[in-house]
């Protein structure tokens, strides 16, 4: 499976995301912001960093990059897309996810290992986890506070689209402790903490982040096998009566 990792001017964690994809067992494909060609990847990661220097708003310029035009269309067709930190901001700016990421409530940059509680294992990026599982993943942001109007927040909760919440302390004042959300189809996920920094015991506080990358590989494998299984079922249904008839004739 091929996971594309986009590099924007100012991207910081694209190399880490590519490494995480490789550790999970995928082929990491580097994608360039100025090239709309996704190179036949099976999933895409928008990494953390400071795309275009965070000018105007975080992610506000990156959403107009040529590669994003292709990603928006592909996401509408079911392509799994994970936005991490700045990538989450870009997904909101591109209207693939609702709400916005704003300045931390306390106005300070936060860099620490953060506990999350998984709220949904029904997305393309969380199927390897179980609901209510606690994860320990680094967070590092200055504009990580998730905000939305009350109607949107209620809808996210009611439809199971809150993917993860902060526990044991909210690092940025996100409304309803939201750390990650998904679109309606579950193929697009935005997360403020950095799972790509929790994939190796040597450098991370845990291996909990690896599950996001293995989840999408599992999702892709299941999606690839579904047509074959359906075709097998149709063939068995079509040949069943004929086989039964033939067996009866040979008695």
Active site residues: 85, 194, 196
Residue 189 structure tokens: 């996920």
Planar angle of CA 159, 164, 170, nearest 5 degrees: 125
CB 185 within 8 A of CB 199: no
Residue 160 structure tokens: 């199971």
3-state helix vs strand vs coil in the chain, percent to 5: 35, 25, 40
Give the C-alpha separation, 245 to 167, whole Å: 62
State the number of CA atoms in the 13 A half-sphere of 167 facing the CB.
12
**Which residues partner with 110 through β-bridges?**
141
């Amino acid at each position: 499976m091929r996971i594309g990792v986009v590099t924007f001017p100012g991207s910081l964690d694209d190399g880490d995301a590519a490494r995480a994809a490789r550790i999970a067992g995928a082929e990491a494909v580097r994608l360039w912001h100025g090239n709309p060609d996704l190179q036949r990847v099976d999933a895409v990661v928008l990494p953390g960093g400071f795309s275009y220097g965070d000018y105007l708003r975080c992610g506000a310029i990156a959403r107009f990059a040529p590669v994003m035009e292709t990603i928006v269309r592909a996401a509408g067709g079911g392509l799994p897309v994970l936005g991490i930190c700045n990538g989450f901001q870009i997904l909101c700016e591109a209207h693939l996810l609702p709400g916005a990421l704003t300045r931390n409530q306390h106005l300070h940059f936060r860099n620490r290992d953060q506990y999350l509680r998984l709220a949904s294992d029904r997305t393309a990026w969380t199927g390897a986890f179980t609901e209510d599982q606690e994860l320990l993943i680094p967070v590092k942001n200055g504009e990580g506070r998730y905000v939305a109007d009350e109607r949107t927040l209620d809808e996210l909760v009611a439809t199971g689209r809150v993917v993860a919440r902060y526990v044991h302390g909210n690092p940025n004042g996100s409304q309803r402790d939201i750390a990650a959300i998904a679109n309606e189809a579950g193929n697009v996920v935005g997360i403020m903490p950095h799972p790509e920094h929790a994939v190796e015991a040597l450098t991370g506080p845990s291996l909990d982040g690896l599950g996001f990358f293995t989840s999408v590989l599992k999702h892709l494998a299941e999606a690839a096998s579904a047509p074959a299984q359906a075709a097998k079922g149709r063939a068995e249904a079509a040949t069943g009566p004929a086989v039964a008839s033939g067996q009866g004739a040979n008695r």
